[in-house]
Chains A and B, each alone.
Chain A
Amino acid sequence: MRRRADSLAPLTAVQPQPAWPAALRGLLADNRLAVLVLFLPPALLLFTLFVVLPIGEAAWYSGFNWNGFGRPTNWIGFDNYRFVLQTRAFWLALRNNGLIIVVSLLIQLPLALALALMLAERFRGAVALRMLFFLPYILAEIATGLIFSFVYDGDYGLVASIWRLFGAETPHLLASTDTAMLAVLIVIVWKYFGFHMMLFIAALQGMDRSLIEAARVDGATRAQLLRHVVIPWLYPTIRLSVFFAIVGSLQLFDLVMPLTRGGPADSSNTLVSFLYNNGISRMRVGYGSAVGVILFVICVSFAFTYQRWFLRDE
């Protein structure tokens, strides 16, 4: 495909640039300039205005103590970063993001992989099951969070009534600093495993059948097949799935709000919910921007490292 696209090259002005007026005339003749002038700016403008500039401004605002009204005037240098790093809740949030990644890798990914291997085969109900498992992924995080705040509710919830069957005192999972994050993690797995499963299924369906045939002729067992043929085939997808799990963890917010709002006592904040609770809802623009910049640095350095080390072939 690449090669075919390259054959377009002679058409699209790669010729040495002549003097400006002539070039202008040439461009207008086949409308290329018109395309450049009309087609690019809307996207570039929107992107610059709402994506790139705010990031730059975050760096600028993070030097101020500013409540968002008028213009920032009270320059305090790097104090906001110091304040952020001194906040216990920030480190808790960071730890929680780490936990989410760990659970994604150790529980969600193997689960998704196992299910994908089972459901990539054709049998009655396989497609229905795939769809069922994918369903949580397309439900809004807010709805999922609310559904599970019902599931966990200490008075009316499903968990509570199971406990009651055994005559035990009903737990309020979301209300204890010990269990709130655990409860959130379970919901994360519930919501996202289907997405990762679909990634794997898509990859498995693109698998070269002759590889399996060949291995089988060589007398490979099922386990050997899996270890030496199927899993290696899936490596790129696994790396991709890991990438999404990590990026997803770094932006997790919608799910936490209906469940715990980051509580109790900040025990289940993620970086973004910490940013919301301590920056936005208090309109501490400087402080919140500092958190944003830290998050940005984490995201970008992760993305670059990961791309360099693991996604080279992509």
Chain B
Amino acid sequence: MRWLDRLGLAVATLWLALGAANADTTVKWLHIEANPAQVKIWEEVARSYEAAHPGTRIEMQFLENEAYKAKLPTILQSKDRPNIIYSWAGGVLKSQIEAGVLEDITDQIKGYSDSLTPAALAAFSRDGRIYGLPTALSQVGFLYNKELMAKAKVDAAGIKTWDDLLAAVKTLKAAGVTPIVAGGADKWPLHFYWTHLAVRIGGKAAFDAALRGENGGFAGETFQKSGELFKQLVDLQPFQNGFLGFKNPQAVGYFGDGKAAMTLAISTVYHLQRALAADKKGLAEDQIGWFDFPMVPGGKGEPSDTLGGITGWLVTKGSPKETVDFLKFFVSKDVQTRLAAGNFIIPVVKGADAGLNNAFMKQIAANLSKSRYHQNFYDQSLGPSVGRVVNDVTAEIAGGSMAPKDAAEAIEAAWKQGN
């Protein structure tokens, strides 16, 4: 059995070779950014940090958004986990803090934290301790293709109410234009409709009441009505053919290819569509318009209320101290101004919004600063498992397999189950 011995030897050698560690400090940074133009800037920042700090290596790792969310719970359990992870704050962050997998960075960023927008920083704090650094804000609303809207003679600026939107969809369909593109396979792009309707119908009060379990919780009237209004839209078949099979990047690319008139999306899609369009050029800036999510007559929400994200970076437990140092370097006025100038983000560092040089981004920044109720994405703010149920049921409404009432009740049931 000499071959067995030889094989054993080979395996052992291999093992040793793999185990050979390198002596430098490596900061592993896991991100989900699909826009190569933005990643390029990040990389430049990382390289310049390395140049200034010999012996420290910044290693960037990428996971696609959906894969990231599915994988994160297991990633965090690995002892080899990345040091910097992406976060949308909210309930998911809360459960990560409770699980004790995050580093409390309050003391390490003392002084520096004053440079950040307080509301954004608050999203990454709990009980006065800070667990991450915010990096960007975003708003959810309708992006539209000016050319297609004009072709169907729809006045986008005139879409103020939900009924206006339904009418616009009908007109677009009649003109042979695909009204809306949505990445239904990922589910969360659909949950924007249901959530934003709830923001419009019930306002902040309804959400807070539901969290306390009042008024029937998430099975209450506000949330049932959100489902019903969403159903009205779904019944018009406004989405592209096969929308339930489209992942979000495909849907964004579809919009960038000019194949659909509208998309309900995060404001960053304004730029992302270029990278994901088939020709890598997408729609020119002057071809895209924006209108806020329409109002619902009789709704308690304010027109200035917004739905969107506060995104940032978390530091995982046991990371080298260089991690926070790099993050401070990364979320600095200088870098944020640069990213704002590229119109990639609405910055969170005070004064960095001076870098915004594009009318669209300026408008979003103005919306967000005007907003007194900025609702974080439900699928994040309600925690990892309830949030996923919100996504599940909105996809079911969109697929016609679940009634709005049942959907609301399913969310409430999940909320009561907890976790």
Contact = CB atoms under 8 A, between A and B. Distances in A.
A116 to B, nearest CB: 36
A284 B385 contact: yes
A283 B384 contact: yes
Interface stretch (B203-211, B236-244, B281-289, B344-352): B236-244
A282 B392 CA distance: 13
Given A86-B413, A172-B242, A69 B400 contact: no
Interface stretch (B95-103, B139-147, B161-169, B354-362): B95-103
A281 to B, nearest CB: 4
B241 A89 contact: no
Nearest to B242: A172
B181 to A, nearest CB: 13
Nearest first, the 4 A-B pairs at minimum CB distance are A172-B242, A175-B245, A264-B244, A283-B73
Interface of B: 69-71, 73-74, 76-77, 95, 98-101, 184-185, 187, 241-246, 384-385, 388, 392, 395-396, 398-402, 410, 413, 417-419
A278 B391 CA distance: 12
Interface string A163-178: 0000001111011110
Contacts of A180: 245
A65 B417 contact: yes
Given A281-B73, A282-B73, A175 B244 contact: yes
B396 A172 contact: no
Contacts, number: 92
A174 B243 CA distance: 10
Given A265-B401, A283-B384, A175 B185 contact: yes
Nearest to B278: A155
B383 to A, nearest CB: 9
Interface in A264-283: 264-267, 278, 280-283
Given A172-B245, A176-B242, A67 B392 contact: no
A280 B384 CA distance: 12
Q: Decide if the interface of chain B is mainly helix, strand, loop or mixed.
A: helix
B222 to A, nearest CB: 23
Contact of B241 (A154, A278, A280, A281): A154
A267 B245 CA distance: 12
Nearest to A261: B185
A26 interface: no
Contacts of A284: 385, 419
A183 to B, nearest CB: 10
A77 interface: no
Contacts of A68: 73, 77
B401 A177 contact: yes
Contacts of B74: 280, 283
Interface string A93-118: 00000000000000000000000000
A264 B399 contact: yes
Contacts of B243: 175
A176 B402 CA distance: 14
A51 B140 CA distance: 47
A174 B400 CA distance: 16
26 contacts: A68-B73, A68-B77, A69-B99, A69-B101, A83-B417, A88-B402, A154-B241, A169-B241, A170-B241, A172-B244, A172-B245, A175-B185, A176-B242, A177-B401, A260-B245, A261-B185, A263-B187, A263-B245, A264-B245, A264-B399, A265-B392, A265-B396, A281-B73, A282-B384, A282-B385, A283-B73
B395 A70 contact: no
Contact of A175 (B69, B98, B246): B246
Given A69-B100, A170-B241, 4 more contacts: A69-B98, A172-B242, A263-B185, A282-B385
A69 B78 CA distance: 11
A131 B282 CA distance: 46
Given A69-B100, A264-B395, A265-B398, A281 B245 contact: no
A281 B63 CA distance: 14
Contacts of A267: 399, 401
Contacts of B384: 67, 282-283
Interface in A173-230: 174-177, 180
Nearest to B69: A281
Contacts of B244: 172, 175-177, 263-265
A260 B244 CA distance: 10
A90 to B, nearest CB: 12
A265 B245 CA distance: 10
Contacts of A89: 392
